Amino acid sequence: MSVLQKLREEWIRPALFFGNNPVSLAGGAITTGSGVTMISYWMAQMAGHLSSNPYLGIIFFLFLPMLFLIGLALIPVGIVLRRRKLLREGLIPAEFPKVDLNDRIFRHGIDIVLVATVVNFLVVATASYHGATYMDSPQFCGSSCHVMSPEYTAYKVSPHSHVACVECHIGSGAEAYFSAKINGTKQLIEVTLHPLVPLAPRLIPTYPTPIPSPVTSLRPARYTCESCHSPRRFDGDKLLVKSDFADDEKNTETQTVLILHLGGVDSLSHYIGIHGVHLGHIEYIATDPSRTTIPWVERTNPDGSQTTYVASALNGAEPKGERRVMDCIDCHNRAAHTFVTAEEAINSAMAAGSISPSLPYIHKEGLALLKGSYTSQAEARVKIPAGLEAFYRSQNPAVLTEKAALVQAAGKELYLLYSQNVFPFMKVTWGTHPNHIGHQSYPGCFRCHDSDHVAKDGTFITQDCSACHNLLAVDESKPKVLSVLGIH
């Protein structure tokens, strides 16, 4: 007997005989269905007909393969079960039926497999398609997974609230697509297993709280931001007005007015101003994971030469650490997820009038309530408005009767500010995610512009205030420049 013949006689014929049972047939159909779906998906992808949607990955890299394997496993399970049953009943034939298309039972089996496969294919394909479309939406990325709740909350009130998460986090291209898939699958597993973590804290993988920033896997801005924003655009100067309220009874308001020299690429192709200068090639080394300590910066000048600025403590040596080409995200790291400080939050709400500056001591008391410690947002929702009321009841009860509506509105708004910035369950609180724009609340620009970064020729990265902005008014009450400009 040839090997092939032996295989046919001793393995395939018994397998086909025992395999003709509902469990194995179902397994075969599941396997074929998921297999065919995956293969067509891969073919469509190779032909470039699919959007780079990372969440398709959950289906095509996790769910379908799982189904495929389950189906595959069902086939031998069915065979073993049927064999055992027939053995018990003593019904195993001396010779297994021939593989013969004239055999009615066998033909029947094939028909079932075919029909089931077609049905399965349609069902799995449709379900996968609808699931994937849904999973592409920011609603899915941000809200079906509570882990993302801080980022999603900030995103919804950001200028990018209509830009899909995947536009910045994945961008286009096959490589990004695949790594996002793998990463997404890992996160899905971590989130799914999270409730089990207390059972075996060290063994079960889980997500970190808070989700760490920077996102080291984020791609260079030219693949993401720059698909919408042209870095060569010239923005000229930008006026910025900031209001501050004092802690006194009257919540005295002062304003700071500055003109930021944004620049860009001007009509003569000069790279000028904040945007222009950094569009050239600047590399830096950060020595901490948050990219806050930057002792080494190298700039490639327009003539091709390089200037290396090194913090004086290093004595000219190159430090160890992540080496990175500076791009949009090194300043705009909170473009879609701006978490503000408690001071910024209350100042802008008071400037907008959603917290009335006419309430005595509202700045001081509001700030204290915002910074209070609450175990959850639900607790803050009750305690913040109650705290404000209690304050006025004990200090100045007249306010509660004369300005009842304003006190109530202020309490609500304070809670809103809290809920947009503090997420106790993710350990995100005021200041957890620093913003690199500016230098008042966080090091920001001054990570490099601190006049301690010196080049060999003695020049240093500028700290000249007017290189970046002209201060038209600093903490002035009713600055004249604003009335000149017609801004109130």
Figure out which of the listed residues 74, 132, 176, 221 binds ligand HEC, where binding follows CB under 6 A: 221
Q: Which amino acid is at 353?
A: G
Figure out which of the listed residues 9, 103, 167, 450 binds ligand HEC, where binding follows CB under 6 A: 167
Token output for 81? 């079960």
Closest CB to ligand HEC among residues 30, 225: 225
Question: CA-to-CA distance for 269 and 394, rounded, in angstroms?
Answer: 64
77 binds ligand HEC (CB under 6 A): no
420 binds ligand HEC (CB under 6 A): no
Q: Are 201 and 192 in contact (CB under 8 A)?
A: no
Question: CA-to-CA distance for 88 and 78, rounded, in angstroms?
Answer: 15
Sign of the CA dihedral running 158, 159, 163, 169: negative
159 binds ligand HEC (CB under 6 A): yes
Q: Do you know the residue count of the chain?
A: 488
Question: CA-to-CA distance for 111 and 204, rounded, in angstroms?
Answer: 45
423 binds ligand HEC (CB under 6 A): no
Q: Which amino acid is at 200?
A: A
Figure out which of the listed residues 13, 238, 381, 412 binds ligand HEC, where binding follows CB under 6 A: 238
256 binds ligand HEC (CB under 6 A): yes
403 binds ligand HEC (CB under 6 A): no
Q: Could you tell me which stretch among 38-46, 268-276, 363-371, 392-400 binds ligand HEC (CB under 6 A)?
A: 268-276
Figure out which of the listed residues 356, 469, 476, 482 binds ligand HEC, where binding follows CB under 6 A: 469
CA 406 to chain centre: 36
Question: CA-to-CA distance for 477 and 488, rounded, in angstroms?
Answer: 12
Size of the site for ligand HEC (CB under 6 A): 77
Figure out which of the listed residues 306, 440, 477, 483 binds ligand HEC, where binding follows CB under 6 A: 440
Contacts to ligand HEC from residues 274-313, by CB under 6 A = 274-275, 277-278, 282, 284, 294, 297, 299, 309
For the stretch 68-72, contacts whose Cβ atoms lie closer than 8 Å and that sit 24 or more positions apart, written own/partner, are 68/30, 68/31, 68/34, 68/35, 68/38, 70/27, 70/30, 71/26, 71/27, 71/28, 71/29, 71/30, 71/31, 71/32, 71/33, 71/34, 72/27, 72/31
Rg (CA), the chain: 32
Closest CB to ligand HEC among residues 14, 131: 131
422 binds ligand HEC (CB under 6 A): no
Q: Could you tell me which stretch among 53-61, 107-115, 193-201, 271-279 binds ligand HEC (CB under 6 A)?
A: 271-279
**Closest distance of CB 392 from ligand HEC, Å:** 29
**Closest distance of CB 166 from ligand HEC, Å:** 8
Q: Are 220 and 325 in contact (CB under 8 A)?
A: yes
Q: Which amino acid is at 437?
A: I
**Closest distance of CB 323 from ligand HEC, Å:** 11
Beta strands in 342-395 (DSSP E): none
Question: CA-to-CA distance for 224 and 262, rounded, in angstroms?
Answer: 21
138 binds ligand HEC (CB under 6 A): yes
Figure out which of the listed residues 82, 181, 219, 242 binds ligand HEC, where binding follows CB under 6 A: 242
Residue 40 per-residue DSSP state: H
Q: Are 296 and 326 in contact (CB under 8 A)?
A: no
253 binds ligand HEC (CB under 6 A): no
SS3 at position 299: strand
Q: Which amino acid is at 316?
A: G
463 binds ligand HEC (CB under 6 A): yes
Figure out which of the listed residues 165, 350, 359, 407 binds ligand HEC, where binding follows CB under 6 A: 165
340 binds ligand HEC (CB under 6 A): no
314 binds ligand HEC (CB under 6 A): no
Q: Could you tell me which stretch among 33-41, 94-102, 360-368, 430-438 binds ligand HEC (CB under 6 A)?
A: 430-438
219 binds ligand HEC (CB under 6 A): no
